[in-house]
Amino acid sequence: MLNKDALLTVLKHPELPLHNNASELGARVEKRRQDVSLQTKSKEGTKAKDSFLTIAQTAKKLGVNAYEYIADRVSKKFSMPSLAELIIQNFQPQIE
Report CA 34 to chain centroid distance, whole Å.
16
Predicted confidence at residue 59, as pLDDT, reads 94
Q: Is residue 77 predicted with pLDDT exceeding 90?
A: yes
Percent of the chain with pLDDT over 70: 78
**What is the DSSP secondary-structure string of 77-88?**
---SPPHHHHHH
pTM here is: 0.57
With contact defined as beta carbons under 8 Å apart, do 80 and 72 qualify? yes
With the CA atoms of 39, 42, 47 and 48 taken in that order, what torsion angle do they form, in degrees rounded to the nearest 10? -80
Of 64 and 91, which is predicted with more confidence?
A: 64
Q: Is residue 38 predicted with pLDDT exceeding 80?
A: no
Predicted confidence at residue 28, as pLDDT, reads 76
Q: How confident is the model at residue 69 (pLDDT cuts 50, 70, 90)?
A: very high
